[in-house]
Structure 1
Amino acid sequence: MASRCLYQATANELAALISAGGLLRELRRGYEDLIGGDLNTQEVESWRNSIPTVVDLLLEEGLGDVQVLLELKTPISDVRMDMVLIGSHPTNGKMSLVVVENKQWHWATPGPAPELVYISRQPNRRPHPHPIRQVWDYRQVLIDYIPLVRSMAEVRCFVNMHNATGEDLTAIRPATVGLQYDSSVVRMFCSDHRDYFKRALRDVLSPAKASRYVQEFLEAPVSPTESLMTVVNESVCERTVFALLDEQRAAYEYVRAAVKASKQGAPKEVVLIVGGPGTGKSVIAVELLGALNRQGVRAVHATGSKAFTLTLRDNVEKVNRRAARSFSYFNSYTHATPHDIDVLICDEAHRLRETSDRRRNAFDENYDQRQGRPQVQELIEAAAVPVFLLDEHQLVRRGEVGSIKLIREVADSMGIRVQPIDLRHQFRCGGCPEYVTWVEQLLGLGWAHGPQPWRPLETFELYVARTPAVMEEFLRAKQDAGDTARMAAGYCWPWNDPRPDGTLVDDVQIGDWHRPWNSRAEREKNGIPPSSLWATHPAGFNQIGCIYTAQGFEYKYAGVIFGDDLTWNGQKWESHRRANKDTQVNGARQFDELVRNTYRVLATRGMSGAVLYSTDPSTNNLFKELGVPVL
């Protein structure tokens, strides 16, 4: 995988294109080719107003042959950097990269932390990363994930505040807000700093070897991202591991600021972090857990998933048994005293239950009435700073009630403010939101139009298999080559317990192909992992996972078997209760929604690719007719 941008040209070529009125046309064309979908009008205005201000400076300094990459995608996600300038360093001749972040802001005020700012005066405004912090994160991603940059290049970062004067932005100057940064690497320039900006460009850029360096950079391999579970022990116990960009950074810093404010007596608030699959919710959660606990803050991670929590514990316990105790369940806080902990990080909060006690008995005189409280209320009360991370389209089981509306209603009833933060960018599925959108449109989730043709992507592989055996063969080759791969299916076959010796029954039978579900056992036996470790144990490939063992996890390649509980009749989807063997789902009123959500989750576990197969011929034909390549 190499780096990609919407448009590449020298500053001279861009100047000519701008003069001829062709810049927006070329960028629109690049957007359609690389990304597709609707283009934000604000982004177009930024292109129109911001790019020429930098190009003009380059030409004024005799840097017209410097190469310019417009809207370069970061190596690990769909986040794009506004401009990256490439030439050689004037003093040592090394490759020189300058990341330019263009801002059209006219005004900004400090946020709750030095790393955050506000650009609105509205009471419900959302925080933005300080632009200096934002470009620093971009720099770190380039260095961390492109070995060529790490070993061969000098990287600088400039913030171009071309619509504001220095006086307009006095309030967010790093020295004013207390932001710690390296001024030799990152600088911010306003409209009245153009001479300083030109000098800074001249000091770090020369057009010599620019054409050679830009090709080397664009062709340089990108290091693959690590899955959460492989490095969670480092993140929780030792150091920051994952790069946080844009809204991820805003969410992380906002929670840390809320902890500080809470200790100083500020009114309590709930932080609500919302995002689809692959937007980094769990990465934010574990990074917060590690950073806060290393600072002496009492922080705890909670989920409603046994598999997810036990896997987190198992990975962290190998390094630090005490740190592994930081992982708990939503139903663990019925008897907690208010503010028993500093921060409660509720991951996968769509899996919240109405109450923590399913055995409530109003006639039991020994029954603790506190157990009748809503589970979300218990969690809010238990922590000084409660944090909820959720995706409303991951409700997959009857009794799961976690939603934005519920959390807001309960918080409002308690007189507690809610601070929402939306995660927009995709960090899984090859950093391709196009794939996630395609899956959601395919399944009729949240989009006005239904299934759409598949457009192949450079960073994500998608196939349809003629048979499950072909799917397995493809995924096994990936597994044998060192990637992680798993097959998961809709719950459309019976599920037997392991035999006394630990071996499994081949419950999933499709024609003459048959495989077992993942083990229901609590411990590994005869090399077969328990259900909680199916997604991460090397031997998990040999069993078929289900929604309960796949949700919350990720692996390089995902195989998804659509069962007969969801089929395409040629014009629309039909859901079939009788085909579903999950008693938690097939009796639910919202059965159709839960089944569609299930396949959305299973289809978005893959970091690099997915293979689809349906037991229903019409449904498998739909995948082919939409243009998905056939294995």
Structure 2
Amino acid sequence: MQTEKPTHLLVYQSTVAQFLQDCDEIEISSLIHDRYVALTGGKVGPSEQASWKNSLSEMARVLRRSQLDETVGVGIELFAPQATSRVDFSLSGLGAEGDKKVILIELKQWSSVDVTEKDAIVRTVLGGGKQDVPHPSYQAWSYANLFEGFNEAVSCGDIKVVPCAFLHNYESTQREIIDQRYDVYLQKAPLFLKGDLEKFREFLREHLHGGDNGKVIHALIHAKIGASKALIEGLNHLLKENKEFVLIDQQKLVYEAVRATAKAAAPGKHRVIIVEGGPGTGKSLIAINLLVKLLHDNLAIRYVSKNSAPRHVYKSKLTKSTLRSRFDSLFCGPDSFHKVQSNTFDLLLVDEAHRLTEKSGAYGNLGENQVKELINAAKCTVFFIDEDQCVTFKDIGSKAQIRRWAQVKGAVVEEYELQSQFRCSGSDGYISWLDNILGIRSTANHFLDSKQYDFRIFDSPQELHEVIESKNIENKARVVAGYCWPWSSKNDISKMDIVIGNYQRQWNLSSNSSVWIVTPGSIDQVGCIHTCQGLEVEYVGVIVGPDLIVRDGQVVTAPEMRSSMDQSIRGYKTRVKTSPNATKALADKVIRNTYRTLMTRGLKGCYIYCTDDETRSYFKARLEGHGSASSKE
């Protein structure tokens, strides 16, 4: 059970008596700051230092009159297993039956929040503006789940973790934080507000009947790290029940090669793997299988994707639930890896690697380069990539970038290419025709035989949507569009977004856009590139907007026709003034790649409507039989 060195980082460890003495005699926040910097080498911003000062003084206030044994253990900034997340405050001791317990406490300085329609998400003021953030009870519960799933002392039952949250500035008259929509998480991790001090103390006394001189926390941070048996068995069972996760032919070969390399990687023997493949070749399929199977080998592993939609949808498919679950910790975005120490993970599976960006964070001001940071964070990093799916100005993921940073790390690079594609009815001819007709690259496929792949052109968006609805028998057909219309319904659900004559529809569900593509009922809405990339349906309907048109037989793009709310080409007007040729070329590539991506989401068929008449005629003229695959059912 024990290892020589701690498997978890812990910035501060003492007892209640020592913690209260430190609060009285020294500036406790300065002590935490110095220890954090010494332990991690990281930097701490003024806001976090202020948070330590305010929140720790409030915890001292709680503990002074708590009647807890003075030998109850105290931990501050406890790193969760296999994660960059930290538990603000923890207390350890013995329960009524002498059982070992650790209370995990999430501390917040918030004084107000707004509820949202998103599961376990609230909005509050952070960094000068309002942001969506996890509900504190969910956050505390998710940390407990990490310990239950990856800390052997907890997963085997030797230590029990108890989550809760304390919002010491939040008045009980502000009811939003305890809105009934958050009940499921409030029950899992009780929430205590500014006026709940005695209730909070009672909760602590209920769980900690005796002190331990910090021995339980010591055992926790020295316990072996690895996926619990229950987590592995649960995922394996779910994977076996999903036939769509079965690997075929070349997919199986690449999977086995990557699996062998990942298991052999070690510090000083770093590996970087590039798996290249077009739409439907099985990149995500391989990533999910590796995630599940390599948990067996106690590898510290994560599935990473820049776009939240793929990770949320694959998680929901594995768990058969669109709600957050105990599997959350296995799926993450790339924005936090600039804070991760070298070799923290054994394996990172980076799906949609072409979507990686240089900087991280909501304001694009954190870190140096996501490719570099993902390589640094793991002994083996696997990048699943399709350079033809770069769809925003910020996308920097490329094979050249990956090779460059792998060389800096001194890592051995392996490269594999998936060629057989199973989307679009397995028609490589359709992909080649699409590349040709969109002007992405010249191919010999000038005309499309719609007998090989069900491709149709409609003369009205209403007719297109009606036919796609008729195909939605098993919730596997959706309509998507280029981002040429503002998302007005995001803030006013009474408004329509996409208005073309009598056709009026809203963009994808604002409350749960990450799983829009698999949410029953979302057939009524229209999706965009951000909610469907990396995913597929059986039939896709694509509304081609005025940003891609045909003039005199040539496909041209019009970036100015994109909605101002679209982040894909944000800054176009400014950049085009200083670097017109390069900016126009990049915008042209983004728009063409966007429609290529949208038009390859359908496993069995793709139906399109073009807002521009000449463009619609151009597509019809490039079908064998000239219009034989048009709007006739």
Give the Cα–Cα distance (whole angstroms) in 1 for the partners of residues 409 and 416 of structure 2.
20
Give the Cα–Cα distance (whole angstroms) in 2 for the partners of residues 236 and 339 of structure 1.
29
1:301-312 alignment, distance < 5 Å: 301-312=303-314
SS in 1 for 2:327: helix
Distance of aligned partners of 1:414 and 1:533 in 2 relative to their CA distance in 1, 3 Å threshold: same
SS in 2 for 1:622: helix
What are the Cα deviations for residues 13-62 of structure 1, in whole angstroms up to 9, with x where unaligned? xxxxxxxxxxxxxxxxxxxxxxxxxxxxxxxxxxxxxxxxxxxxxxxxxx
1:193-592 alignment, distance < 5 Å: 241=243, 242-262=245-265, 267-318=269-320, 321-357=325-361, 359=363, 371-447=366-442, 452-458=446-452, 460-479=453-472, 481-482=473-474, 484-498=476-490, 503-521=493-511, 530-581=512-563, 582-585=566-569, 587-588=571-572, 589=583, 590-592=586-588
Distance of aligned partners of 1:337 and 1:428 in 2 relative to their CA distance in 1, 3 Å threshold: same
**Mind listing any 5+ residue stretches in structure 2 that lack a counterpart?**
1-233, 573-582
Identity %: 34
Matched AA of 1:544: V
Matched AA of 1:342: D
Contact kept? 2:269, 2:379, Cα under 8 Å: no
What are the Cα deviations for residues 65-97 of structure 1, in whole angstroms up to 9, with x where unaligned? xxxxxxxxxxxxxxxxxxxxxxxxxxxxxxxxx
Contact kept? 1:515, 1:543, Cα under 8 Å: yes
Report the count of equivalent residues: 377
Q: Determine the structure 2 residue equivalent to 1:608.
A: 604
What are the Cα deviations for residues 421-471 of structure 1, in whole angstroms up to 9, with x where unaligned? 00000111111111111111111113256x72111234x311101111111
Give the Cα–Cα distance (whole angstroms) in 2 for the partners of residues 295 and 234 of structure 1.
13
What are the Cα deviations for residues 296-343 of structure 1, in whole angstroms up to 9, with x where unaligned? 322210000122222333444557933332001111212212111111
Contact kept? 1:485, 1:555, Cα under 8 Å: yes
Give the Cα–Cα distance (whole angstroms) in 1 for the partners of residues 536 and 457 of structure 2.
20
Distance of aligned partners of 1:489 and 1:416 in 2 relative to their CA distance in 1, 3 Å threshold: same
Give the Cα–Cα distance (whole angstroms) in 1 for the partners of residues 375 and 312 of structure 2.
23
Give the Cα–Cα distance (whole angstroms) in 1 for the partners of residues 389 and 617 of structure 2.
26
Distance of aligned partners of 1:240 and 1:603 in 2 relative to their CA distance in 1, 3 Å threshold: closer
Distance of aligned partners of 1:234 and 1:553 in 2 relative to their CA distance in 1, 3 Å threshold: farther
Indicate the larger mover: 273-282 or 333-342: 333-342
Shift of 1:603: 0.2
Give the Cα–Cα distance (whole angstroms) in 2 for the partners of residues 465 and 257 of structure 1.
48
Give the Cα–Cα distance (whole angstroms) in 1 for the partners of residues 283 and 562 of structure 2.
30
Distance of aligned partners of 1:477 and 1:251 in 2 relative to their CA distance in 1, 3 Å threshold: same
Matched AA of 1:295: D
CA-based RMSD of the aligned residues comes to 2.3
1:52-131 alignment, distance < 5 Å: none
Contact kept? 1:236, 1:289, Cα under 8 Å: no
Contact kept? 1:236, 1:290, Cα under 8 Å: no
Moved runs in structure 1, 4+ residues, more than 4 A? 232-241, 317-320, 357-361
What are the Cα deviations for residues 552-610 of structure 1, in whole angstroms up to 9, with x where unaligned? 11001000010000101132111112211124316442111000000000000001101
**Mind listing any 5+ residue stretches in structure 1 that lack a counterpart?**
1-231, 362-370, 522-529
Matched AA of 1:601: T
Give the Cα–Cα distance (whole angstroms) in 1 for the partners of residues 415 and 396 of structure 2.
18
Distance of aligned partners of 1:559 and 1:239 in 2 relative to their CA distance in 1, 3 Å threshold: closer
What are the Cα deviations for residues 191-210 of structure 1, in whole angstroms up to 9, with x where unaligned? xxxxxxxxxxxxxxxxxxxx
Give the Cα–Cα distance (whole angstroms) in 2 for the partners of residues 260 and 312 of structure 1.
24
Q: Determine the structure 2 residue equivalent to 1:128.
A: none
Give the Cα–Cα distance (whole angstroms) in 2 for the partners of residues 236 and 407 of structure 1.
33
Distance of aligned partners of 1:499 and 1:593 in 2 relative to their CA distance in 1, 3 Å threshold: closer
SS in 2 for 1:321: coil
Shift of 1:266: 7.2
Contact kept? 1:316, 1:323, Cα under 8 Å: no
Distance of aligned partners of 1:422 and 1:391 in 2 relative to their CA distance in 1, 3 Å threshold: same
Q: Determine the structure 1 residue equivalent to 2:620.
A: 624
Give the Cα–Cα distance (whole angstroms) in 1 for the partners of residues 494 and 530 of structure 2.
18
Shift of 1:285: 0.5
Matched AA of 2:610: S
Q: Determine the structure 2 residue equivalent to 1:140.
A: none
Matched AA of 1:535: I
TM-score normalized by the length of structure 1: 0.57
Give the Cα–Cα distance (whole angstroms) in 2 for the partners of residues 382 and 339 of structure 1.
5
1:157-172 alignment, distance < 5 Å: none
Contact kept? 1:274, 1:391, Cα under 8 Å: yes
Contact kept? 2:489, 2:507, Cα under 8 Å: no
Give the Cα–Cα distance (whole angstroms) in 2 for the partners of residues 357 and 429 of structure 1.
35
Give the Cα–Cα distance (whole angstroms) in 2 for the partners of residues 402 and 236 of structure 1.
31
What are the Cα deviations for residues 227-265 of structure 1, in whole angstroms up to 9, with x where unaligned? xxxxx96676557853333432222111111123225x7
Shift of 1:287: 0.7
Distance of aligned partners of 1:498 and 1:448 in 2 relative to their CA distance in 1, 3 Å threshold: closer
Distance of aligned partners of 1:318 and 1:249 in 2 relative to their CA distance in 1, 3 Å threshold: closer
Matched AA of 1:251: V
Matched AA of 1:595: I
Give the Cα–Cα distance (whole angstroms) in 2 for the partners of residues 235 and 433 of structure 1.
33
Give the Cα–Cα distance (whole angstroms) in 1 for the partners of residues 364 and 455 of structure 2.
47
Give the Cα–Cα distance (whole angstroms) in 1 for the partners of residues 248 and 514 of structure 2.
30
Matched AA of 2:543: I
Matched AA of 2:485: W
Give the Cα–Cα distance (whole angstroms) in 2 for the partners of residues 355 and 271 of structure 1.
22
Give the Cα–Cα distance (whole angstroms) in 1 for the partners of residues 518 and 448 of structure 2.
30
Give the Cα–Cα distance (whole angstroms) in 2 for the partners of residues 290 and 571 of structure 1.
49
Distance of aligned partners of 1:520 and 1:405 in 2 relative to their CA distance in 1, 3 Å threshold: same
Distance of aligned partners of 1:483 and 1:520 in 2 relative to their CA distance in 1, 3 Å threshold: closer
Matched AA of 2:432: T
Matched AA of 1:278: G
Give the Cα–Cα distance (whole angstroms) in 1 for the partners of residues 478 and 235 of structure 2.
22
SS in 1 for 2:259: helix
Contact kept? 2:489, 2:497, Cα under 8 Å: no
Contact kept? 1:235, 1:287, Cα under 8 Å: no
Contact kept? 1:493, 1:507, Cα under 8 Å: yes
Indicate the larger mover: 336-345 or 586-595: 586-595
